[in-house]
């Protein structure tokens, strides 16, 4: 695909095709940074793709104790789903099993949006009648007695219907080391973008998928056009000098957050250059007919 070249890195004339999602944000605090992060990591585990996990979730960033409601170290978590119901179910299960259970944790809503999800309003029943409702500062909380004291949990959180999921970068390199180096450099910068997460392991996915498969039970299967070992057997997208592809998938609370993350990721890959890093960057789409959000690499390139 003819595109542009920046600092020797080929950027395809292609675009990432993204979809509307439901998204919410939580602020999880803990007795120290380690345990605030632990609760957040556990809660966002097994949340790489809605295909198999129900939601896509990740850590948006650390929050300074001065900026949390209880003055303790906090971590902001973003959760995305395809439907409001699924988001509600997953949120209840994940906060109930992973945050409520984590030593010393507390859980707060961290998004202002018109639609509401229940949080403490459902988890309070764990208190078996000993739960205590408190309204202060214009917010409603539940205090649930637990074995290390109390779990403080906001009654509700809001969610946006304007979230965007499926922004992506396909990072193609000459060998494994350089491709991973480029992907890691991109993730390091993309992690700093507020309101966007990269839900795959460490932000990177090596098994990009295409829609459908030859098997009835599978809705998605390997993206053979980008598999280097199949280049002789399928209609490949890969040039002869490319032997490894890694993908970064981005979900954001807004279209702008996804675009920002892709922009800084692309800039980091370009900055690293084709010798140390990637030789080519592409993006995945379905021809533009399925998803309403199109992120064109040419417009995001440095």
Partner 1 sequence: MTLVLSLKAQPPQRLDLSPLVPHLLKDKSAKEIAEIDLATTKEPAKVGDIFRVRAGSVDEIRFDGGSERFDNLGAESTTGRVVLTGDAGSNVGRKLAGGEVVVTGHVGPYAGSGIESGRLEIIGDAGDFLAAPREGELHGMSGGTLIVRGTVGDRAGDRLRRGTIIIEGDAGDWLGSRLVAGTLVVLGAVGLNPGYLMRRGTLALANPPDLPPYFVDCGAYFAAFAPAFGRALKPESAGAERFFRGALRRFAGDMSVLGKGEIFVPA
Place of tokens 């960057």: 281
Rounded Cα gap, residues 124 and 132, in angstroms: 8
Does 62 sit near partner 1 (CB under 8 A)?
no
Is residue 106 a contact partner of residue 29, using CB atoms and an 8 Å limit? yes
Task: Name which position in 149, 202, 212, 292 contacts partner 1 (CB under 8 A).
Answer: 149
What is the distance between the alpha carbons of residues 236 and 47, in angstroms, rounded to a whole number?
30
- Token match 């809503």: residue? 109
Comparing CB distances to partner 1, the nearer of 157 and 168 is 157
Q: Which stretch binds partner 1 (CB under 8 A): 136-144, 184-192, 223-231, 238-246?
A: 136-144
Interface with partner 1 includes 274 (CB under 8 A)? no
- The single residue among 1, 52, 70, 177 that binds partner 1, judged by CB under 8 A, is 70
Q: Which stretch binds partner 1 (CB under 8 A): 65-73, 161-169, 174-182, 275-283?
A: 65-73
Q: Does the footprint of partner 1 cover residue 152 (CB under 8 A)?
A: yes
Does residue 130 belong to the site contacting partner 1 (CB under 8 A)? yes
Q: How many residues bind partner 1 (CB under 8 A)?
A: 19
Position among 2, 34, 64, 136 found at the interface with partner 1 (CB under 8 A)? 136
Q: What is the footprint of partner 1 within residues 197-216 (CB under 8 A)?
A: none
Per the CB < 8 A criterion, the answer to whether 3 and 40 are in contact is: no
**Helices (H), ranges, 59-202:** 84-94, 120-123, 176-190
Question: Alpha-carbon distance 192 to 200, whole Å?
Answer: 16
The answer to whether the CB of 85 falls within 8 A of the CB of 122 is no
- Applying CB under 8 A, which of residues 133, 207, 213, 222 lies at the interface with partner 1? 133
Q: Under rule CB under 8 A, which residues in 92-121 are in contact with partner 1?
A: 104, 106
Question: Is 137 buried (19+), middle (13-18) or exposed (0-12) by CB count in 10 A?
Answer: exposed
Residue 134 interacts with partner 1 (CB under 8 A): yes or no: yes
71 C-beta neighbours (distance < 10 Å), count: 11
- Span near partner 1 by CB under 8 A; candidates 142-150, 236-244, 252-260, 290-298: 142-150
What are the start-end ranges of the E strands in the chain?
Answer: 4-6, 9-11, 15-29, 56-63, 74-81, 106-109, 115-118, 132-136, 139-146, 149-154, 156-173, 196-197, 204-205, 209-211, 220-222, 244-252, 280-282, 293-296
Cβ 95 to partner 1 shortest distance, Å: 15
Interface of this chain with partner 1, residues 20 to 39, rule: CB under 8 A: 29
Q: Which of 23, 69, 252, 291 binds partner 1 (CB under 8 A)?
A: 69
- For residue 172, the minimal CB distance to partner 1 (Å) is 47
Q: How far is the CB of 143 from partner 1 (least distance, A)?
A: 5
Q: Which residue is listed with tokens 């922004």?
A: 167
Mark 217-256 with x for binding to partner 1 (rule: CB under 8 A) and - for no binding.
----------------------------------------
Where does this chain touch partner 1 (CB under 8 A) — which range of 52-60, 70-78, 85-93, 199-207? 70-78
Tokens for 39, please give them: 């609760």
The Cα-based distances of 200 to 6, 9, 79, 162, 302 in angstroms read 27, 24, 13, 21, 25
Q: What is the binding site for partner 1 (CB under 8 A)?
A: 29, 69-72, 104, 106, 130, 132-137, 141, 143, 149-150, 152
């Amino acid at each position: 695909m003819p595109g542009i070249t920046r600092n020797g890195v080929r950027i395809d004339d292609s675009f990432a095709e993204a979809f509307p999602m439901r998204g919410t944000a939580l602020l999880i605090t803990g007795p120290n940074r380690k345990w605030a992060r632990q609760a957040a990591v556990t809660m966002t585990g097994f949340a790489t793709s809605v295909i198999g996990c129900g939601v896509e979730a990740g850590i948006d960033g650390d929050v300074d104790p001065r900026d949390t409601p209880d003055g303790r170290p906090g971590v902001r978590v973003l959760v995305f789903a395809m439907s409001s119901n699924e988001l509600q179910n997953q949120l209840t299960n994940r906060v109930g099993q992973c945050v409520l259970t984590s030593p010393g944790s507390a859980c707060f809503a961290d998004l202002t949006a018109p639609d509401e999800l229940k949080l403490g309003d459902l988890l309070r029943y764990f208190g078996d009648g000993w739960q205590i409702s408190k309204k202060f500062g214009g917010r409603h909380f539940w205090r649930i007695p637990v074995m290390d004291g109390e779990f403080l949990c906001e009654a509700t959180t809001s969610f946006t219907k304007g979230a965007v999921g499926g922004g992506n970068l396909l990072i193609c390199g000459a060998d494994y080391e350089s491709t991973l180096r480029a992907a890691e450099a991109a993730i390091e910068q993309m992690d700093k973008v507020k309101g966007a997460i990269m839900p795959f392991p460490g932000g990177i996915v090596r098994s990009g998928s295409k829609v459908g498969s030859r098997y009835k039970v599978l809705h998605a299967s390997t993206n053979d056009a980008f598999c280097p070992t199949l280049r002789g057997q399928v209609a490949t997208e890969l040039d002869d000098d490319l032997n490894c592809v890694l993908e970064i998938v981005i979900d954001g609370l807004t279209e702008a957050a996804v675009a920002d993350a892709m922009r800084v990721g692309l800039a980091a890959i370009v900055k690293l250059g084709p010798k140390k890093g990637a030789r080519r960057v592409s993006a995945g789409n379905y021809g533009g007919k399925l998803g309403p959000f199109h992120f064109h690499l040419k417009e995001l390139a440095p």
